[in-house]
A and B are shown apart, each in its own frame.
Chain A
Amino acid sequence: MYDFQYHRPASVDDAIKTLNGTSDGKILSGGMTLLPTMKQRLASPSDLVDLAAIAALRGIKADAKTVRIGAMTVHYDVHASADVKKAIPALSVLAGGIGDPMVRHRGTIGGSIANSDPSADYPAAVIGLGATITTNKRDIAADSFFKGLFETALEPGEVITAVTFPIPKRAGYAKFRQPASRYAMVGVFVAETASGVRVGVTGAGPCAYRVKAMEDALAKNFSADAIKDIKVPSDGLNADIHGSAEYRAHLVNVMAQRAVAAAK
């Protein structure tokens, strides 16, 4: 790790001000990706602006229609939240299956989403539930948030403050873990929401995306059988030593069926 300046502002405004004053500063949320990258000397930001002291970014609020999660809420808190378990049990399951206990007590929902790692779990839920991402500047709909590999709609100086999930009728999440890292090689979040059935896929492509054909089929018949024969195209999917694009495409189908079967 190279040397850097460390900042710990108390408000989002201060954080942005501090960030704007740096030559090549980065926001530090949970640091689950950024810190290992810096340790490997693959990233060398001049400054880290740590959001950990901003209390307003932490916490979970539920009402009749939505669950709002502060950007700095750690995965364990989402997993363990009684409100989340009651309103969107699949989201609790997803959060409880990220990484290991250490990651779950450090990693945050805002950090995970802002990074748009193709194998992160949360993007599947954000897409699958049609969440709204709130930043210091605006609200962004899930469908226009993830732009590509490690690429989002966030602009320079823009920080996620909260993610709001609509409460679905039912939802399920199933993931296939990469054998070494145990990240999601393919994760599928399926939800029956007020605005229709949504299928959010992570791991398979450069960033999280929806599978329209499955959504249509499930809207008619919300059962695993309804999507059994829907082949997902492998064009443009990720491929590495752990799984070819063709295998990932196949797994999207299998995991989608399992997510439907698990939905409640």
Chain B
Amino acid sequence: MGQFGVGQAVRRKEDLRLLTGGGRYLDDINVPGQAHAYILRSPHAHANILSIDTAEAKKAPGVVAILTGKDVLADKLGGVPCLAKPQSKDGKAMVDPGRPLLVADRVRFVGDYVALVIAETYKQAKDAAEQIVVDYDVLPAIIDTARANKPGAPAVWDQAPDNRVFHWHNGDEQKTKDAFAKAAKVVKLDLVNQRVVVASMEPRGALGQYDTATGRYTIHTPCQNVHMIQRIMAGCLNDKTENVRIVSPDVGGGFGMKVFAYPEQALMPWAAKKVGRAVKWTSDRSEAFLSDTQGRDHVTHAELAIDKDGKFLAVKVSNISNMGAYLSNFAPMVATHAGTGMMVGVYDIPAAYVEVLGVFTNTTFIDAYRGAGRPEASHVIERLVDIAAMELGISPIELRRRNFIKPEQMPYKTQLGHNYDSGDFFKTLDAGLKFADWDSFPQRKAEAAARGKLRGIGLAYYVECAAGGDEHAEIKFEAGGKVTLLVGTLTNGQGHATSYAQVLEDLLGVPFGDITLVQGDTDRIPNGNGTGGSKSMMLGASVIKKAADKIVEKGKKIAAHMLEAAETDIEFADGTFRIAGTDRKLSIAEIAAKSKDKANLPEGMEPGLDTRDKSDVHAGTYPNGAHVCEVEIDPETGVTEVVSYAVMDDFGKVVNPLLIAGQVHGGLAQGIGQVLLEHCIYDNETGQLLTGSYMDYAMPKADSMPSFKLAFNNVPCTTNPFGIKGAGEAGTVGALGCVVNGIVDAVKHLGIKHVEMPATPERMWRLINGASRKVA
């Protein structure tokens, strides 16, 4: 293993380019004759459109065309589909009303798509949009998640009069009921997981082109999965998949939000064909707040049944999940299988039952945001366990140990259907506690008290289910020994150009610096499944290995032929094919070059060493670990700070510890941000977004974070060739429960058992102040 091999903390090869302005984002891509689009959005949360008058606007300077929902209907365009359809417990199908590209009759959230204005410049398009007269009949709106399904709530969709999208369930209801009946202790928790915005640094955008000669569309759009967008856009445009090319340039952050298809990605190519020139749209920040998918928004009731020895008997969770006004691609899955299916955590719980009521509201659509359901689930179970520890008078460490799934129980099938392949929760927890210096916490608490601060320590042991699937790769040998690696994943900040090159250098001995990653173009990469669900490293490495193994196999045959030796005598190491025990050898670059000439090959062998392959690793992976944080609260102001954070992770196998640290740090920041600061708030009556800019939406900043400590206790995953477990979302999954547990620990002496997120200064001040008054 070389300096750039697997396991080394190699610096990102993409950084020099990106940090010196060499990035090529959608905003950098402009084509001759391009027109600009502006989308007129609904100012109301819920209203019937009585009429849209575009006559004046069409006369405005620079206007090329104005298109509305009527044009979408006339051209019989498809809509953006929902791809996840959980069945309800009563056997009924999910209510799937569809999602048109432009709305013709009724708007359902502030920001809904009303008209597309195309002009010579963006400013002219925006000016013209102000001249469009839309006559709205404003309707009552429903915003509140908990109230959406209650009698009297306005219906977002006529086909769902009670706003019910689905009522899914999982687990064994009767077995769970029985377990609760014989419990010595039942712990209950009501909890809200508030809505947050994603806020990628680069906003969304799309550049649509149509080539009349070939009849093909090209859509440049920053995303996380070009092939899924290609299929969906073909559906929206009523055309064949091969007639749609999707190109994703550099992507400035996705966090799940850029996995999904959006109307704009279909509107631009449609408009391009109609007006006979390229059309480009770029979201501005205000628009991003309204029209990017948002995350979380669950209201949960959870109960844990425990026997007299502190052993968990059953867990029962019912949850209301807000879907927003439309169903984004995977929103119902995030709320059900992805998240709530992980509700048992790392505990050996003999019975479990979960039910999820998905509801429509007049708000922006929800979908996966870093962790996608698993932070929500981990938050619930880790809070339940801490409350149980508090109520039973057992230490939270001891209670966890008493209930952990034991290493010898692996592989372990949970009551909610997940198969944990590996993990040693005991050892990882012990290492984590030591790493965090848990035992000396009382000294730090006393020292903080002397400064007038309330200090708490929080523990969460998370497990998450990172995705599996299939993935495609091609390894191509270029002139001069260079190698191009084409993969169907799509880095949007993860550093695949570096980590994949590390894997390939190890496997084929091609120098790290000679390897170039190509991604994000459906014309160059025929198949792929993009990046999301923390699966890219596991699947990318697996498929690269499969293709590389084939290359070595073929290379051996060629080497044997050229060196006139038996194939079994050829060994391959460090990029060299050699007759074992001799100095007769050929480098892989030589073999690649020679293999292009049939004369150098055995009879009947196809020329070239280039190899394309597909890998199927459908089992999910289960990264897990111990998060320990310490918080300090200023009781006078309620200001809460996370002052230390230590993570002991089990990622199975680490390809690049530096990149993993970046992933964990970013994940923690998004978790801590949600616990302390972030909250996407709509006015409950009007549905107006009150946190529509960074002036009111509190983003975490560098000074909101402590310096993170990260170490590993890796137990290799048994279901993929490298033993990798997905790391991209793990930081967020563990952070919610950990930080809230720390906050509650700091104020538990006041009789406080739970604190809702975000733990804003006023919320904390009111809790402490109210509790102090009561205690006094």
> When the two chains form their complex, are residues B696 and A254 in contact, meaning their CB atoms are under 8 A apart?
no
Query: B459 at interface (Cβ–Cβ under 8 A)?
Result: no
> When the two chains form their complex, are residues B637 and A241 in contact, meaning their CB atoms are under 8 A apart?
no
- CB-CB under 8 A from B695, the residues of chain A are 180-181
- A3, chain B: closest CB distance, angstroms: 9
- CB-CB under 8 A from A241, the residues of chain B are 679, 681, 690-691, 696
- CB-CB under 8 A from B761, the residues of chain A are 176, 179, 243, 247
> When the two chains form their complex, are residues B762 and A242 in contact, meaning their CB atoms are under 8 A apart?
yes
Partner of B760, one of A179, A251, A254: A179
A251 to B637 alpha-carbon distance, docked (Å): 7
Query: A20 at interface (Cβ–Cβ under 8 A)?
Result: no
Contact A180/B697 with A244-B762, A247-B765 known, Cβ cut-off 8 Å: yes
A125 to B695 alpha-carbon distance, docked (Å): 23
Query: B636 at interface (Cβ–Cβ under 8 A)?
Result: yes
Q: Which of A180-194 contact B (CB under 8 A)?
A: 180-181
A247 to B691 alpha-carbon distance, docked (Å): 20
* Interface hub of B286, B691, B695 (most chain A Cβ within 10 A): B695
A134 to B636 alpha-carbon distance, docked (Å): 39
Least CB separation from A181: chain B residue: B695
Contact A180/B637 with A241-B681, A242-B760, A247-B765 known, Cβ cut-off 8 Å: no
* Interface hub of B286, B762, B766 (most chain A Cβ within 10 A): B762
* B498-509 to A contact mask, C-beta < 8 Å, 1/0: 000000000000
* A222-261 to B contact mask, C-beta < 8 Å, 1/0: 0000000000000000001111100100110010000000
> When the two chains form their complex, are residues B677 and A179 in contact, meaning their CB atoms are under 8 A apart?
yes
> When the two chains form their complex, are residues B698 and A180 in contact, meaning their CB atoms are under 8 A apart?
yes
Query: B441 at interface (Cβ–Cβ under 8 A)?
Result: no
- How many chain A residues touch B (Cβ–Cβ < 8 Å)? 14
> When the two chains form their complex, are residues A247 and B762 in contact, meaning their CB atoms are under 8 A apart?
yes
- CB-CB under 8 A from B637, the residues of chain A are 176, 251, 254
* Interface hub of A240, A241, A244 (most chain B Cβ within 10 A): A241
- B693, chain A: closest CB distance, angstroms: 9
- CB-CB under 8 A from A243, the residues of chain B are 761-762
- A262, chain B: closest CB distance, angstroms: 15
- CB-CB under 8 A from B765, the residues of chain A are 247, 250
- CB-CB under 8 A from A240, the residues of chain B are 696
> When the two chains form their complex, are residues B762 and A180 in contact, meaning their CB atoms are under 8 A apart?
no
- CB-CB under 8 A from B679, the residues of chain A are 241
- CB-CB under 8 A from A244, the residues of chain B are 762
- B120, chain A: closest CB distance, angstroms: 16
- CB-CB under 8 A from B760, the residues of chain A are 179, 242
Least CB separation from B699: chain A residue: A180
Q: Which of A140-177 contact B (CB under 8 A)?
A: 176
Partner of B696, one of A40, A181, A250, A251: A181
- B446, chain A: closest CB distance, angstroms: 23
- CB-CB under 8 A from A242, the residues of chain B are 696, 698, 760, 762
- CB-CB under 8 A from B697, the residues of chain A are 180
Q: Which of B627-644 contact A (CB under 8 A)?
A: 636-637
Q: Which of B739-776 contact A (CB under 8 A)?
A: 760-762, 765-766
A254 to B677 alpha-carbon distance, docked (Å): 21
A202 to B528 alpha-carbon distance, docked (Å): 56
* Interface hub of B679, B681, B694, B698 (most chain A Cβ within 10 A): B698
A112 to B699 alpha-carbon distance, docked (Å): 25
> When the two chains form their complex, are residues A179 and B636 in contact, meaning their CB atoms are under 8 A apart?
no
* B688-707 to A contact mask, C-beta < 8 Å, 1/0: 00110011111100000000
A190 to B699 alpha-carbon distance, docked (Å): 31
- CB-CB under 8 A from A247, the residues of chain B are 761-762, 765-766
* Interface hub of A180, A181, A242, A251 (most chain B Cβ within 10 A): A180
A243 to B677 alpha-carbon distance, docked (Å): 13
- A42, chain B: closest CB distance, angstroms: 11
A181 to B694 alpha-carbon distance, docked (Å): 7
- CB-CB under 8 A from B696, the residues of chain A are 180-181, 240-242
Least CB separation from A254: chain B residue: B636
> When the two chains form their complex, are residues A180 and B694 in contact, meaning their CB atoms are under 8 A apart?
yes
- B741, chain A: closest CB distance, angstroms: 22
- A224, chain B: closest CB distance, angstroms: 11
Least CB separation from A240: chain B residue: B696
Q: Which of B651-679 contact A (CB under 8 A)?
A: 677, 679
- CB-CB under 8 A from B691, the residues of chain A are 180, 241
* Interface hub of B636, B690, B694 (most chain A Cβ within 10 A): B636
- CB-CB under 8 A from B636, the residues of chain A are 254
Least CB separation from B677: chain A residue: A179
Least CB separation from B766: chain A residue: A247
- CB-CB under 8 A from B681, the residues of chain A are 241
Least CB separation from A258: chain B residue: B636
- CB-CB under 8 A from B677, the residues of chain A are 179-180
Least CB separation from B634: chain A residue: A254
- B298, chain A: closest CB distance, angstroms: 20
A180 to B765 alpha-carbon distance, docked (Å): 18
- A255, chain B: closest CB distance, angstroms: 9
A179 to B704 alpha-carbon distance, docked (Å): 10
- B615, chain A: closest CB distance, angstroms: 44
A240 to B762 alpha-carbon distance, docked (Å): 11
Least CB separation from A251: chain B residue: B637
A243 to B766 alpha-carbon distance, docked (Å): 11
Q: Which of A30-63 contact B (CB under 8 A)?
A: 40
A242 to B681 alpha-carbon distance, docked (Å): 11
A251 to B761 alpha-carbon distance, docked (Å): 11
A254 to B690 alpha-carbon distance, docked (Å): 28
- CB-CB under 8 A from B698, the residues of chain A are 179-180, 242
A242 to B762 alpha-carbon distance, docked (Å): 8
Q: Which of B151-186 contact A (CB under 8 A)?
A: none
Least CB separation from B130: chain A residue: A41
A102 to B697 alpha-carbon distance, docked (Å): 21
A40 to B695 alpha-carbon distance, docked (Å): 13
- A45, chain B: closest CB distance, angstroms: 17
Least CB separation from A186: chain B residue: B637
Q: Which of B268-294 contact A (CB under 8 A)?
A: 286
- CB-CB under 8 A from A181, the residues of chain B are 694-696
A180 to B761 alpha-carbon distance, docked (Å): 12
A243 to B694 alpha-carbon distance, docked (Å): 16
A247 to B677 alpha-carbon distance, docked (Å): 17
- A214, chain B: closest CB distance, angstroms: 16
- CB-CB under 8 A from A40, the residues of chain B are 286
- B123, chain A: closest CB distance, angstroms: 8
- B756, chain A: closest CB distance, angstroms: 15
- CB-CB under 8 A from B766, the residues of chain A are 247
* Interface hub of A179, A243, A247 (most chain B Cβ within 10 A): A179
* Interface hub of A40, A240, A242 (most chain B Cβ within 10 A): A242
Q: 25 A-B pairs, CB-CB below 8 angstroms?
A: A40-B286, A176-B637, A176-B761, A179-B760, A179-B761, A180-B691, A180-B694, A180-B695, A180-B696, A180-B698, A180-B699, A181-B694, A181-B695, A181-B696, A241-B690, A241-B696, A242-B698, A242-B760, A242-B762, A243-B762, A244-B762, A247-B761, A247-B765, A247-B766, A250-B765
Given contacts A180-B697, A181-B694, A247-B761, 16 further A-B contacts (CB under 8 A): A179-B677, A179-B698, A179-B761, A180-B691, A180-B698, A181-B695, A181-B696, A240-B696, A241-B679, A241-B691, A241-B696, A242-B696, A242-B698, A243-B762, A247-B765, A247-B766
Closest 10 A/B residue pairs (Cβ) = A180-B698, A179-B698, A181-B695, A247-B762, A254-B636, A180-B696, A243-B762, A179-B677, A241-B681, A180-B697
